[in-house]
Amino acid sequence: MRTRPSPPTRRSHRIRGARPRTAARLTATLLAAGALLVSACSPGNPATPAAGTVQAALAALPRSTPAALAPYYGQRLRWRECGAPGFECATMKAPLDYASPDAGTVRLAVARKKATGTAGRLGSLLVNPGGPGGSAVGYLQQYAGLGYPTAIRARYDMVAMDPRGVARSEPVKCLDGRRMDAYTQTDLTPDDRKERDALVEADRGFAESCGAHSARLLRHVSTAEAARDMDILRSVLGDRRLNYVGASYGTFLGATYAGLFPERVGRMVLDGAMDPSLDARRLNLDQTAGFETAFQAFAKDCVRLADCPLGGRGTSAARVGERLRAFFRELDARPLPTGDADGRRLGEALATTGVIASMYDEASWPQLREALASAMREHDGAGLLFLSDSYYERDADGHYSNLMMANAAVNCLDLPAAFSGPEEVEKALPTFEKASPVFGPGLAWASLNCAYWPVRATGEPHRIEAKGAAPIVVVGTVRDPATPYRWARSLAGQLSSARLLTYDGDGHTAYGRGSGCVDTAIDTYLLRGTPPAPGKRCS
């Protein structure tokens, strides 16, 4: 599937955030799908470190603010009404290059909704839905500022900032809508040399376009730089410590902040955690296995129902997978009509994206069953095309958000490419197919995009310990497709003050997904500062 450049999803691939409790649920769920991007295109070293390898830990920055950064830390934001009643927006400046603070600035979009209560206020609560590439400002205005628990919104100013290169914050630009349509339809399961070359050229063309249109930004959209921007925002807002809820890739961003500024960590929730110690290939392989786990759960649920298009009662999950693979092969040969105004037909790539997008949230399973039934029985690909478009944030007019572009830019800068060329992908195909017979080959090929990126990676796999930080709550969902549970366990084991909260359930992330146990534990922590008991497990 073309979750270009990934998961952490890429790092969690289109790595998007926490789940809503309201009608905004679908929007927030797809934001969390941002994690998917992370997965398929997360950059990383070609080989996973040998077991027992001790990797360097992220070093904390000096506690004192360098004089060259003082103007940024001391700036005043000019707030204005925006979006919807009660929301305010402002523009914050940060140095484009922290190594040369005087060499230019980047303008970052900030939004907030002030606390609704007057007593016991706790400062600001920064939220990030993941990606990389998901708009935090959009997430705040569409969900968090309205759908977070009343008690949280009463005591915190709800705040969001689009990271550099994302959405309203000087977005990375690459392909226009027409070329993105072609890119998202690129065959990710090449059957011969001609199709393989076409895939390589598609990735190369995407990378070259990003380099041509966003040359100034591409060297300065790393997660470490975005975390440093968050510390400037903390200071500008007048908060002594940073309170934060991050989902999917947002957990990597939050953990990075904790590693750089451990003494400034306030109440921090990392939901759907990523593991910063893994290289790109291992991240993508783990996520491939995660999507297989989610698909197995979907398959078992599907065959219990009369409307399941992939098999009836008693059909094994393996057989369901075989039927879905056969359907994908049919689409590869004969794409289906969709009624799309731009003439797009449903081929294997778009169909696979639609299915994967539905793995993020079990609430999407009925819609997926209906879309598959329409495609398989009525030869109508409109339903699966809609799911794919939602994942890619493509509107009815053919315009895309910059989610996929920012996703690639961040992932390819944070870690070296998972593969250096198509030959390496071909050698790894059996391993990926073993991890997921349904999605493995496509996700392996989707991991190739960073190989052609015009900017060399500046990051590498590392542990994050954040020694001296206040308690941090790390949340892991047992059958999370985009950020496997093992990642949450690993991150919790790295962070010196972490407390792991386990959700024994399906879907991507846990907070706000309907578990009263999870929600109560997190709300209590955010309101009282009391983390969950050691070993806390919810269902």
Please report where in the chains the tokens 């380099």 appear, as a residue.
211
Please report where in the chains the tokens 């490419």 appear, as a residue.
417
Q: Which among 361, 504, 497 is positioned nearest to 26, based on CA atoms?
A: 361
Q: How, if at all, do strands 105-113 and 87-95 pair?
A: antiparallel
Cis amide prior to 46 (ω within 30 degrees): no
Task: Give 17's DSSP letter.
Answer: -
Pairwise CA distance, residues 304 & 261, whole Å: 50
* Cβ neighbours of 76 (radius 10 Å): 8
Q: Which residues of 461-484 are buried (b: 16+ CB within 10 A; e: fewer)?
A: bbbbbbeebbbbbbbbbbbbbbbb
Task: Provide the annotated active-site residues.
Answer: 248, 480, 508
Pairwise CA distance, residues 374 & 392, whole Å: 21
Residue type present at position 300: K
CB 530 within 8 A of CB 520: no
**Region label for 407, one of left (φ > 0), alpha (ψ between -120 and 50) or beta (otherwise):** alpha
CB 490 within 8 A of CB 277: yes
Q: Which among 511, 388, 397 is positioned nearest to 28, based on CA atoms?
A: 511
Q: Which among 11, 37, 2 is positioned nearest to 360, based on CA atoms?
A: 37
CB 94 within 8 A of CB 217: no
Tokens of 23: 């009608």
Indicate the burial class of 288 (C-beta count within 10 angstroms; 0-12, 13-18, 19 or more). Answer: buried
Q: Count CA within 13 A, CB hemisphere, residue 240.
A: 3
